[in-house]
Homo-oligomer: A and B are copies of this chain.
């Protein structure tokens, strides 16, 4: 089972440093979790992921039930063994994905949709989402929720909260005493009354090993994100990990850690790597720009990742321009390393009692 301990709390903000203990090892928080949607972090081998310092990765219930199917993964000995990742794994519930499908039809019991792989009709319900996740065997699994799109009318967001709460009850029942940790998800779009109701209901009714905030990173922007996180995080138990789903850019992570978030996942580092957008301490750079052709500095001078210690921008520029897969590989290694180190630096600053100074230093030199 999952355990969590808060090790330090910033004196001036809600930022905290903690430790997640799982059957597959410890994770220091705040933590960034690279996304391995289809049981693979895009363009990286598991040893390359581990070399970035990443300790926990995400995989996607929706994608994995379509292909290769959770029964195959179970037969392989579970997701850890299947994908060659010995550290902790978190699976999302698939709710976010199926709600964004054009074929999705929301019913009282769940969502009906068509497979993107073979067009077959499928149905995802709270019970089914839990069943799939149990078969996959992740350390942390997510409740099946209704993720409201942005912008949404209050009535639609309200229905999302109602379905999320109703389905959560069924997720908890289906989960039983399974050893994995089930996290409920707070919805409510940008409406603080709905966020309040959802968080309060969840916390009052369910004593789970952790809590998530969903329905963000859907286009609401950093100001609304700060408002939602700043409002919801204090409603969640202090002694449990708080996971902000699908967020985000470096500035989003700083603002959210400051407001008490412990866990993050996002496809940005690996997705941006595929389009040659790499992170540096001074902001993002587009490696395909001609100015990098003759640039013999590393991608980021302050970075100690394999890409930065072994190659120049000129070489990485060449790889991207020449369509060499190694460009994307090195970009992914660097971007994930950048995120992991940024979180480790945040943690060190919290432990040193100095988070706001570190945040100001970082963001004043980082051009977003």
Contacts and interface: CB of A to CB of B under 8 A. Distances in A.
A76 B44 contact: no
A45 B76 contact: no
Given A46-B310, A311-B84, A72 B293 contact: yes
Given A84-B311, A311-B84, A318 B68 contact: yes
A68 B47 CA distance: 30
Nearest to A324: B40
A72 B312 CA distance: 12
Interface in A1-47: 38-47
A315 B82 contact: yes
Contacts of A330: 45
B43 A315 contact: no
The copy count of this chain in the complex is 2
A43 B318 CA distance: 14
B46 A318 contact: no
A296 interface: yes
Nearest to A83: B315
Given A40-B326, A44-B326, A45-B306, 20 more contacts: A39-B315, A40-B322, A40-B324, A42-B326, A43-B325, A45-B326, A46-B310, A47-B310, A67-B318, A68-B293, A68-B314, A76-B312, A76-B314, A82-B312, A82-B314, A83-B315, A84-B310, A84-B315, A325-B328, A325-B329
Interface of A: 38-47, 63, 67-68, 72, 75-76, 82-84, 293-294, 296, 306, 310-312, 314-315, 317-319, 321-322, 324-326, 328-330
